[in-house]
Amino acid sequence: MRFRMVWAVVELIIAALVLANPVSRWLGLAGGVLAFLTPFVTLSFLITTPEAWVMPLGDAHYGFPYLSGAGRLVLKDTLMLAGAVMIMADSARSLLLQRQ
């Protein structure tokens, strides 16, 4: 219970940093980097958790590459990775343009 609350606070801080991007490109860049790194925690569940894949229930379609419901839920983090890359690129571009 405590870990979930701490993790929720961390994610809210990251969201605030990302939302600060128009005001401070440095904060936006920091938020983008953190937003890029955090999904790797949940994406690692695809490797470490057997329940992420369809269990053998007598059908020929199970295991890799067939994701269970829990495995498909984890894939949403790939969209978070893509969004974080866009935020990092936008912040870095703006910071480089400011230097010129």
Question: pLDDT tens digits for 33-90?
Answer: 999 998 888 777 777 777 777 777 666 766 666 777 777 777 788 888 899 999 999 9
Alpha-carbon distance values, 38 to 60, 62, 93, 95, 99 (Å) = 34, 28, 23, 23, 29
Query: Domain total for the chain?
Result: 1
CA distances from 32 to 7, 26, 57, 71, 81 (A): 17, 10, 41, 25, 9
CA angle 46, 8, 21 (to 5 degrees): 95
| Structural domain that includes position 92 | 2-99
**Both tokens assigned to 69:** 């419901």
